[in-house]
Amino acid sequence: LNRLVSQVISSLTASLRFDGALNVDVTEFQTNLVPYPRIHFMLSSYAPVISAEKAFHEQLSVAEITNSAFEPASMMAKCDPRHG
């Protein structure tokens, strides 16, 4: 569980720690999301959550990973984004 949380936090803060074209901070995320009231609050998800042994044997498509990221079970908070 600690590894999962640390990977999510590391990914969320990568743009704050490294330079690059996609370098943004949390306030920019909030500013860009304000026009869309339904996405006013940021929610992180992590997908796919599979063991290291399975990671080398399963080939997932981009569509499968994207769909998995929006599943309520993949959210890092107990929330169903489909219901607002």
pLDDT at 15 over 70: yes
Question: What number is the average pLDDT over the span 25-53?
Answer: 74
**48-70 residue pLDDT tens:** 877 777 777 778 889 988 888 88
Q: Which of 28, 53, 58, 64 is catalytic?
A: 28
Assess whether 28 carries a catalytic annotation.
Answer: yes
Chain center to CA of 4: 12
Q: Where are the domains of the chain?
A: 1-42, 45-84
Please tell me the distance from the alpha carbon of residue 47 to that of residue 71, in angstroms, as a whole number.
Answer: 9
